[in-house]
């Protein structure tokens, strides 16, 4: 892309949010094009962070990525006193204040379409307007957003496959062309002395150091590209390997996509040409990227999904409640359900903040359709624990599993945790990694251990009911209860 010779604004400000990179950053591209000099700002927003637990890997991922971004800005601008202005405060208040303090003419940012973010941006826009400061945002987090992909009748899609077909038909090379602003990086300007501070650590803002550095999840823009380099040779195998948690099948880029340390355009550019050439792995991975866009447009057009079902009739379902439901939910959260694949998956998220995509479907189905617990409980748990938590995708995934969402699995499709275990972790490698008490067990006995060792009996050094819990629910009986529970969807009188 070309850059103009005469910028429109004397001084601009780039407000980084979920786009922590210099390469192919659309708002940054236009901020540098249109500003003679540019300040770079990130706000560790108390309005968001104030609701998080003290031990949160995402906060550490952000601070480490900010540190890398700060170093990159100072390096590419060739000004040691340039860099990132980072403050721990309320963004809605800080951005207008900083814009005034720095004497900027315009503030640039990328779109963030989550409801809370839209409210914040509306406040910021109004306060900047009162000061005569231009506020400009750009699409960057997805390929197509909002109303860019609609049906022939002009309505948003509610089913994925026709949306995907329309998305692919609309896609052109220009949609994934990178926004290269490297020729203008020298426009990053020096910071005032009082703002020339180091990026705060997690301890500086009241959080705890986590085990992030032990999880092989590299941070920052360089970390994202290290993962891309590692994934490229495996891309063609993705379709066959993605469902097996013991195999290195996924790209592990979801956290980087969430915080924008990698461009979605770069990832589509990696997969789209190969998918057109008939590469099944690339085509399958591209579909996963399209799902992201799909869920984001669902959230945009139907913000009600944040608090209720996409299909309103599913809000009629009566979920389990009371002390027993809380007890079952606690067992699910802690990985103590008595179903090894479910428990290993929950141990994985608790210990690492990551969960394999196949397992997300398994544990969600188990919570909703085996335990009869409201999907919103599970959604909230994932929102707190997932490194890659994204409101649109998390909500969409949970509604898919509970059959209440767009293009969801039918309510009578209920994952069997035993057959899922046998099919996708046949040798029990994943189970044994997170449930080491089964290390000496033969693989065939792992998937339903109570059959090999009834309660109180010991097998291969493990006593069932003591060293590992008995099942908290009978799947066959739970299936019957679920079909009855969901009957109210078709017949309101049953409620």
pLDDT for the residue 410: 80
Q: Write out the two tokens for 11.
A: 């001084």
CA atoms within 13 A on the CB side of 423: 12
For the chain, what's the residue count?
495
pLDDT at site 6:
76
Q: How many CA atoms lie within 13 A of 462 on its CB side?
A: 23
Residue 165 a catalytic site member: no
pLDDT of 192: 85
Query: What do you get for the CA distance between the two ends of the chain, in Å?
Result: 59
* pLDDT tens for each residue of 137-192: 999 999 999 999 999 999 999 999 999 999 999 999 999 999 999 999 999 999 98
Do the strands 462-463 and 458-459 form a parallel or antiparallel pair, or are they unpaired?
antiparallel
The catalytic position among 272, 332, 377, 398 is 398
Sign of the CA dihedral 148, 151, 152, 153? Answer: negative
Known catalytic residue: 285?
Answer: no
> What is the rounded average pLDDT of the residues 56-62?
98
Mean pLDDT of 386-407: 95
Q: Read off the pLDDT band of 195 (50, 70, 90).
A: confident
For domain 142-178+221-301, the CATH class is mainly alpha
Mapping DSSP to helix (H, G, I), strand (E, B) and coil, where does residue 312 land? Answer: helix
Instruction: Provide the pLDDT for residue 495.
Output: 57
Give the Cα separation of 141 and 127 in Å (integer).
Answer: 25
Q: How far apart are CA 319 and CA 149, in angstroms?
A: 35
Which among 114, 145, 357, 450 is annotated as catalytic?
Answer: 357
pLDDT score recorded for residue 147: 97
> Which residue matches tokens 């780039």?
14
pLDDT at 3 over 60: no
Structure tokens at 365: 């189905």
In the annotation, is 398 catalytic? yes
- Look over the chain and give the mean of its residue pLDDT values, rounded to a whole number: 96
**Predicted pLDDT of residue 493:** 66
Q: What value does the mean pLDDT take over residues 62-74? A: 97
Cα separation values, 172 from 154, 157, 181, 265, Å = 21, 20, 21, 11
Mean pLDDT along residues 386-392: 98
Three-state DSSP at 391 gives: helix
Please pick, among 15, 272, 375, 400, the residue that the annotation labels catalytic.
Answer: 375
Give residue 4's pLDDT. Answer: 47
Cβ neighbourhood burial of 465 (10 Å; 0-12, 13-18, 19+): middle
Q: State mean pLDDT over 322-334.
A: 97
User: Which of these is catalytic: 319, 320, 422, 450?
Assistant: 319
Q: Using the CB atoms, write b or e for 33-47: b if 16+ within 10 Å.
A: bbbebbbbbbbbbbe
Compute the average pLDDT of residues 35-52.
97
Residue 400: active-site member: no
In this model, does residue 193 exceed pLDDT 90? no
Query: Which one of 3.40.120.10, 3.30.1330.10, 3.40.50.880, 1.10.579.10 gives the CATH number of domain 312-494?
Result: 1.10.579.10
Average pLDDT rounded to a whole number, residues 418-436? 98
CATH (residue range 1-139): 3.40.50.620
Whether 407 has a pLDDT exceeding 50, the answer reads yes
- What predicted TM-score, i.e. pTM, was given to this entire model? 0.95
Q: Is 335 left (phi over 0), alpha (psi -120 to 50) or beta?
A: left
Tell me what the mean pLDDT of segment 19-45 comes to: 98
pLDDT at 93 over 90: yes
Among candidate residues 352, 359, 361, 356, the one with its CA nearest the CA of residue 250: 356
C-beta separation of 118 from 112 below 8 A: yes
Q: What is residue 441's DSSP assignment?
A: S
C-alpha closest to that of 484 among 470, 472, 494, 475 = 494
Task: Using the predicted structure, report yes or no on whether residue 492 has a pLDDT greater than 90.
Answer: no
Same CATH fold assignment for domains 1-139 and 142-178+221-301 = no
Give the per-residue pLDDT at 54: 97
Q: Report pLDDT digits (tens) over 112-137.
A: 999 999 999 999 999 999 999 999 99
**Cβ-proximal residues to 5 (8 Å cutoff; 6+ apart), any chain:** none
- Per the annotation, the verdict on 272 as an active-site residue is no
Q: Are 337 and 192 in contact (CB under 8 A)?
A: no
Rounded to 5°, the CA angle 308-312-313 comes to: 125
Q: Which of 167, 291, 400, 441 is catalytic?
A: 291
Domain boundaries, given as residue ranges, for the chain: 1-139, 142-178+221-301, 312-494
């Amino acid at each position: 892309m070309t850059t103009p010779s005469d910028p429109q604004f004397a001084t601009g400000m780039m407000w980084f949010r979920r786009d922590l990179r210099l390469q192919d950053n659309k708002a940054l591209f236009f901020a540098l094009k249109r500003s003679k000099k540019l300040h770079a700002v990130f706000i560790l927003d108390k309005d968001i962070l104030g609701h998080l637990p003290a031990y949160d890997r995402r906060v550490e991922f952000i601070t480490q990525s900010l540190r890398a971004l700060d170093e990159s800005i100072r390096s590419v601008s060739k000004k040691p006193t340039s860099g990132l202005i980072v403050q721990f405060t309320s963004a809605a208040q800080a951005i207008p204040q900083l814009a005034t303090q720095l004497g900027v003419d315009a503030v640039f940012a990328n779109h963030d379409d989550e409801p809370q973010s839209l409210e914040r941006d509306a406040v910021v826009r109004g306060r900047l307007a009162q000061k005569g400061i231009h506020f400009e945002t750009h699409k960057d987090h997805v390929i197509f957003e909002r109303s860019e992909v609609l049906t022939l009748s002009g309505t948003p899609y509610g089913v994925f496959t026709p949306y995907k077909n329309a998305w692919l038909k609309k896609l052109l090379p220009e949609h994934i062309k990178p926004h290269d602003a490297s020729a203008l990086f020298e426009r990053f300007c020096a910071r005032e002395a009082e703002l020339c501070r180091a990026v705060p650590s997690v301890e500086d803002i009241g959080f705890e150091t986590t085990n992030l550095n032990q999880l092989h999840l590299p941070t920052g823009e360089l970390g994202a590209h290290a993962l891309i380099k590692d994934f490229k040779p495996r891309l063609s195998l993705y379709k066959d390997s993605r469902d097996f948690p013991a195999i290195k099948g996924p790209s592990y880029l979801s956290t980087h996509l969430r915080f924008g340390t990698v461009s979605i355009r770069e990832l589509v550019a990696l997969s789209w040409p190969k998918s057109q050439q008939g590469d099944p792995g690339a085509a399958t991975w591209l579909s996963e990227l399209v799902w992201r866009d799909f869920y984001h447009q669902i959230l945009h057009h139907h913000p009600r999904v944040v608090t209720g079902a996409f299909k309103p009739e599913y809000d009629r379902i009566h979920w389990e409640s009371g002390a027993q439901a809380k007890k079952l939910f606690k067992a699910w959260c802690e990985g103590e359900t008595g179903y090894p694949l479910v428990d290993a998956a929950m141990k994985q998220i608790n210990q690492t903040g990551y969960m394999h995509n196949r397992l997300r479907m398994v544990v969600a189905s188990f919570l909703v359709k085996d335990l009869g617990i409201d999907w919103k409980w599970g959604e909230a748990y994932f929102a707190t624990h997932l490194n890659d938590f994204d409101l649109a995708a998390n909500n969409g995934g949970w509604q898919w599993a509970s059959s209440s969402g767009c293009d969801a699995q039918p309510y009578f499709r209920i994952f069997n945790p035993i057959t899922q275990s046998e099919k996708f972790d046949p040798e029990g490698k994943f189970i044994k990694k997170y449930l080491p008490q089964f290390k000496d067990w033969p693989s065939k006995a792992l998937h339903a251990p109570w059959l090999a060792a009834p309660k109180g009996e010991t097998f291969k050094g493990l006593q069932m009911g003591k060293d590992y819990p008995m099942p908290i629910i009978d799947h066959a009986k739970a299936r019957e209860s679920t079909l009855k529970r969901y009957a109210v969807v078709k017949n309101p009188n049953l409620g």
